[in-house]
Amino acid sequence: MASLKTLLARPWIWSFVGALLVWLATIAFTGGYGAGGMVTAALSLAVFTVIVGVGQMFVITLGPGNVDLSLPANIGLASAVAMKVMGGSDSMIVIGLLAALACGAAIGAINYLLIWALRIPPIIATLSASFIIQSVDISYGRGLQIKPPPGFADFTNWQVLGIPVLAILTVLFTVGAAIALQRMIYGRSVLAIGQNIRAAWLAGVNVGRIRFLTYTLSGALGGLDGALLAGYFRGANVDIGNEYLLASIAVVVIGGTSVAGGKANVPGVWGAALFLVLLLTMLNTFGVSAGVRLLLTGLIIVGVITAAGGEKAVR
């Protein structure tokens, strides 16, 4: 009983409960039809939100005002870069992935360079950067119709016993992220900066380097996500990352990470990502119109945060 209580006291548990409820509501509607397939599909799609969500989580944990708005543009550009480098050839998959990672990391580094050199709020820096990246992508990716190498497309869609392999790998990645957060100097430093940046500096934390690493990490994860998305959806596309701006922020916060910084939650990112994906599936299954779907999505986000709220946040 006591362990159940401590479990329920953890903020991230609610995102999983929400995901479960949405799933149950949907299979109740379909009469149980497609219950398993829905989980498989949800896991496949949630992966992409989780990967950028973890990067966004580290950024948001750096404290008030820290957020990476350049993720959608980053994902778009990296997807194009990955497809171009791979050039449809299986032998180039690893090189292409590395190119996408490098492209994303470079974007992240530039983001921090702007924040540091211009001393502007990250919201504005990453926003300005995203305008530029978007143009580079439009120009670079114009008419780009390269399909992913068959091996890569198969890999991103590969399932074992109905469980996407990519999801398993992502679970391993998130476990690593959770360990890095709590047990490594990097994670501790991020948490310290998020609570009080000045105190962190005075306690010997190398604030500049940690922030640089965090924005670079977020960028690199965006780049990786772009490559994987291009593989999964069989092609790059300027708009491929658009939904991940709001989604990456939403999963971080619904997952129990404090927007005020200094407190992060990795499992919650998974729960929230599954919740959002299943929610869309549910609304599609119910066959509602686009307007109603948006309306309900919004209301549910507000409702969830209201129910889970009450946490002290600077904003």
Partner 1 sequence: MAAGNTNVIRPSGAEKRSGAANGDIVRLDGAEKHFGAVRALAGVDFHVVSGECVGLVGHNGAGKSTLMHMVAGTLTPDSGAIRVHGGIEESYSVSRARQLGIRCVFQELSLCPNLSVAENTRINHASLSGFGWRRKAAELIAAKLDEIFPDHGISAWDIVGDLSIGRRQMVEVARAFTVTQDRLDLVILDEPTSSLDAHTSGQLLAFVRRFVAGGKSCILISHVLGEVLRNADRIVVMRDGKMVASDAAGAFDRDRLVTVMGGAEARQKVAAAAAAKPEARPLRVRARPAGQTDGKELVACAGEIIGLAGLAGHGQTDLLLRIFDAAARAKAGIEVTAPVALVAGDRQSDGIFPQWSIAENIGIRSLARLRNGLLISPQREAELAAFWQKKIGIRTPDMNNNIFSLSGGNQQKALFARALGSDAQIVLMDDPMRGVDIGTKLEVYDLVREEAAKGRTFLWYTTETEELDNCDHIHVFKNGRIVANLTRDELTEEKIIQSSFGDAA
Partner 2 sequence: MSATPIDTGFKGSAARNAAARARLLRGLLPALSLALVLLAIAWLNPRAISYFGFSLMLNLAIPIALATIAQMFVISGNELDLSIGTFVGFVGCVTATWLKDAPLVGVAILAGSIGIYALLGALIHLRNLPSIVVTLGMSFVWQGLAILVLPKPGGKAPDWLLAIMSFKPLFIPFPIIAALLIAAVVHFGLMRTSYGVILRGSGGNPAALRRAGWSLLKTKIVLFALAGLFGVLSGMALIGITTSADANIGNGYTLLAIAGVILGGGEFVGGRVSPIGAVIGALTLALAASPLLTFMHIPPDWQVAANGAILIIVLAARVLISRRER
Q: Which two tokens stand for residue 88?
A: 């449809």
Q: Which does 209 bind (CB under 5 to 8 A by kind): partner 1, partner 2, none?
A: none
With contact defined as beta carbons under 8 Å apart, do 252 and 60 qualify? Answer: yes
Q: Site size for partner 1, by CB under 8 A? A: 20
Q: Does 188 bind partner 1 (CB under 8 A)?
A: yes
How would you write 1-15 as a 3-class SS string? CHHHHHHHHCCCHHH
Please check whether residue 124 is in contact with residue 199, taking contact to mean a CB–CB distance below 8 angstroms.
no
What does each C-alpha distance from 94 to 87, 230, 278 come to in angstroms? 12, 14, 31
Give the pair of three-digit tokens for residue 96. Answer: 């292409």
Of the two residues 172 and 314, which places its CB atom closer to partner 2 in the complex?
Answer: 314
Binding of residue 199 to partner 1 (CB under 8 A): yes
The partner in contact with residue 238, picked from partner 2, partner 1, none with C-beta cut-offs of 5 to 8 angstroms by kind, is: none
Indicate which of partner 2, partner 1, none lies near residue 4 (CB less than 5 to 8 Å, by partner kind): none
Measured distance CA(242)–CA(81) in Å, rounded: 17
Q: Which does 282 bind (CB under 5 to 8 A by kind): partner 2, partner 1, none?
A: none
Which of partner 1, partner 2, none is residue 47 near (CB under 5 to 8 Å by kind)?
Answer: none
**Does 211 engage in binding with partner 1 (CB under 8 A)?**
no
Our finding on whether 100 is near partner 1 (CB under 8 A) is no
Interaction of residue 242 with partner 1, rule CB under 8 A: no
Per CB under 8 A, 192 contacts partner 1: yes
The CB-of-290 to partner 1 minimum distance in angstroms stands at: 41
Residue 40 Cα to chain centre, angstroms: 19
d(CA 305, CA 247): 14
Could you tell me which of 22, 81, 82 has the C-alpha nearest to residue 46?
Answer: 22
Nearer to partner 1, 185 or 292 (CB): 185
Binding site for partner 1 (CB under 8 A): 179, 183-185, 188-189, 191-192, 195-196, 198-200, 202-206, 262-263
